[in-house]
Amino acid sequence: METQIGNLSLLFLLLLLGSNLSSVLSWKKEEFRTCNQTPFCKQARHRSPGSCALVAHDVTIVNGELTAKLLPKENHENPDQDQSKPLILSLSVYQDGIVRLKIDEDPKLEPRKKRFEVPDVILPELDDKKLWLQKLSTEEDSSLSVVYLSDGYEVVLRHDPFEVYVREKEGKRRVISINSHGLFDFEQLKVKKEGEEWEERFKGHTDTRPYGSQSISFDVSFYDADFVYGIPEHATSLALKPTRGPGIEESEPYRLFNLDVFEYVHESPFGLYGSIPFMISHGKSRGTSGFFWLNSAEMQIDVLGSGWDAESGISLPSSQGRIDTFWMSEAGIVDTFFFVGPGPKDVVRQYTSVTGRPSMPQLFATAYHQCRWNYRDEEDVENVDSKFDEHDIPYDVLWLDIEHTDGKRYLTWDTTLFPHPEEMQKKLAAKGRHMVTIVDPHIKRDDSYFLHKEASQKGYYVKDATGNDYDGWCWPGSSSYLDVVNPEIRSWWAERFSTEVYVGSTPSLYIWNDMNEPSVFNGPEVTMPRDALHQGGVEHREVHNAYGYYFHMATSDGLVKRGDGSDRPFVLSRAFFAGSQRYGAVWTGDNTADWDHLRVSVPMILTLGLTGLSFSGADVGGFFGNPEPELLVRWYQIGAYYPFFRAHAHHDTKRREPWLFGERRTELIREAVQMRYMLLPYFYTLFREANTSGIPVARPLWMEFPSDEATFSNDEAFMVGNSLLVQGIYTERAKHTSVYLPGKESWYDLRTGAVHKGGVTHKLDVSEESVPAFQKAGTIIPRKDRLRRSSTQMINDPYTLVIALNSSQKAEGELYIDDGKSFSFENGAYIHRRFVFSNGKLTSHNVASAPGGAQFSSECVIERIILLGHSARPKNAIIEPEDRNVEVEMGPLLLKSKESSSFITIRKPNVPVASDWTIKFL
């Protein structure tokens, strides 16, 4: 009874606080554990180099894999000791320079439970790329076992003490290694002895830890690396800063533990909403390599500063510089992948060949989204929609947050505020627009609520440590959480998105998964207790970082099922894990309306792209707080180049639709949004590149200029594809900014066409019209210059090609087109053209792969061709094979531009976008 009274009191408190809840739950450092308050992290950090004495025995090739037993040296000599249980090591190699190393307890010795291996992340087709190892060679008096990896690389297992590393065949230079410093530790499951205390307590919460400590830790070294990147999500720089070492200010490790963090702070290694344990190294002398640990338990990672091991006595190859890192996890197994690169794009391609390529979004999803917590009712929705038209600002998606539901019951509507949801959606769809509603994983515990009733009866909820349905607190009050780790439950959840079950939904409605870390207001660190139980007795501590991934997966599958497999899903998720790129978009969570959060959004998005999540963005304007008009405008100007472009705001903030800040600022925001719509063909082509190769839409400069050291730590500018460079403005009332333009070729201002030399830093005047953006010489960018209400209404519009010539008077670019919504492109129903300018001729080539069973055609034409940097001024051109003569004139770079400059232009060549043709300038 006391518990019930306590829960009712908490519910009353939540209701009483209402809109002030965010301030109560805002980020408070003391509410979250530090490394010293986390036993596995504290213990691991106290280990000394060389403390691992594991030795590899019985090294052999079995079923195409290298296998070995790992035993402590002293226990091998004294096999009667309790600690003599061997660990089993297996090493597999795959095509394209990929190594997989697994270490686990020996199942034949019947450990207390099977340690958790994360399912449904690694692509099944990876097995088809496995190389069947035939032989094992030895070196240095049989102390090293060597296996083939690829033509340029091999993998080495050192026996005593054990170490695994990849090296180049020629010169034997190392690339990446594990346990070179002897920090490996693997706590095997044991039986609790009388008097032992296994429970952990933090802030009034008790973790029963029924299996005791089961942590794993080890060191990983990246050779010839200048910087390391990756392991999102943290609000910090792109290049990861050292967290330990001489002269380094005391720091927490980078934490990977999915958390609901209100008003997070920037420049912090503190973990946020998602976790991807994938790190990339890059250096000028060797190139790029990567390391991935498939483990969904809490992880802490140190980046070790130079000299951290000066007193260890361990001697590593002195001819190679390196960056050492230290990885610590609470549970799971060692299931790691090494990627040898050698280029940045190679590593991302290799990683996404293991965890999956990014899904191909619908065209509308790549355009502008308008969101707020919350648009009040149908009248508010209609008014906002009409105001966009009135102010001539295009948009594609209007979003509804939690207040649209019936008492926070997801897949329902507040029938007073939204009495006609289908009609509301159809009005938007008539303009080519879509709607997104929020669906979170916490289910209101209400016996009259159809979702709770069915989930409860079927036993589909996560259990608490005693085996009862877990009951936590979130927006609806008392809530339970679906056990989406279970495939059966994911399938059931997917079926809830049919229009018959989700009453009031239509095919133009898509979904937003929030709070799926999972967020639990009264849980430890605002999340689910670690000793909660999933299918098969899996503890939540083992699967925590992947919970949101499985929820995202199930929701995405639901939208595919709703459309009978013919409609690409759009699902935005806040929590993520490795593989989330296969299921939709993510965003950087609850940021704040200040300049620092605008600044940190760029490295956060770049890091997500490097780790597979190409479709990402940050809330334009900041979720919390009221942005000054200048900040809001600057955010739109850079947000227009985010892969995912959405404005969003907390319900306590002032309304901030684009037309509420005066005519001039409305004009500036309109121009920023219109620039995105003009560039949609270019963005959509880049999303297809990501879908086929894993290479992100938004890229660090060093991805395109891997040997230019000036780019390695630059995260104020970024590339959009290989053609555009964007530099943000991150200070108020800025009059000047410095922009580094890499490479030997020139760059053309995207708005004015002004030419800037490459390889130098330019001090540029800053105008209010835009952030600096440049097209690289040697590229061709496709645009659509006719501006409509939405991307859907632009489908049949003609294209413009902007050709930026390099010093050799050459350029090339690509254009990808499909129907923008279905999966038919997977069967060959698309157009893919490469445009090449060389020797005074522009040629269109078909680069689509062999056609499949589906076909796609387009009647669209090229309406304008703009030539930048031509050494002469041609007067006319001939279109072949028609042998048709067209005039060449001077025209503006942007049709609505106030700039007086004009450039070589062909108006209305009207060549089909889907055909082969050549235009020869005379």
Catalytic residues: 514, 517, 590
Rounded CA separation 188/112 (Å): 9
How are beta strands 841-846 and 861-868 bridged, if at all? unpaired
How are beta strands 533-534 and 509-513 bridged, if at all? unpaired
How are beta strands 509-513 and 571-573 bridged, if at all? parallel
DSSP letter (8 states) at residue 317: -
Instruction: Give residue for tokens 């509420």.
Output: 660
Which among 172, 170, 141 is positioned nearest to 156, based on CA atoms? 172
Angle separating helix axes 680-693 and 663-678, nearest 10 degrees: 50
Rounded CA separation 874/871 (Å): 9
Do 588 and 521 meet the contact criterion of CB atoms below 8 Å apart? no
Burial of 898 (0-12, 13-18, 19+ CB in 10 A): exposed
Number of CB atoms found within 10 A of residue 282's CB: 29
Rounded CA separation 859/881 (Å): 18
Query: Which pair of structure tokens corresponds to residue 269?
Result: 């290694």
Tell whether the torsion through CA atoms of 753, 759, 762 and 767 is positive or negative. Answer: positive
Rounded CA separation 5/2 (Å): 5
Query: Which pair of structure tokens corresponds to residue 770?
Result: 């835009």
Residue type, position 125, single letter = E
Number of CB atoms found within 10 A of residue 600's CB: 25
How are beta strands 903-912 and 889-891 bridged, if at all? antiparallel
Provide DSSP, 459-505.
T-BPB-TTSSBP-EEETTEEEEEB-TTSHHHHHHHHHTTSTTTSTT-
Contacts of residue 127, Cβ cutoff 8 Å, sequence gap at least 6: none
Angle separating helix axes 547-562 and 487-495, nearest 10 degrees: 40
Burial of 412 (0-12, 13-18, 19+ CB in 10 A): buried
Provide DSSP, 333-361.
-EEEEEE--SSHHHHHHHHHHHH-PPP--
SS3 186: strand
Rounded CA separation 840/299 (Å): 56
List the alpha helices (DSSP H) in 590-657: 595-610, 629-639
Burial of 77 (0-12, 13-18, 19+ CB in 10 A): exposed
Which among 180, 200, 298 is positioned nearest to 540, based on CA atoms? 298
SS3 908: strand
Rounded CA separation 532/550 (Å): 17
CA distances from 423 to 79, 225, 371, 381, 426 (A): 75, 57, 19, 12, 5
Which among 117, 118, 93, 97 is positioned nearest to 105, based on CA atoms? 117
With residue 223 as reference, give the H or E element that holds it. Answer: strand 216-223
Query: Which pair of structure tokens corresponds to residue 291?
Result: 């390391």
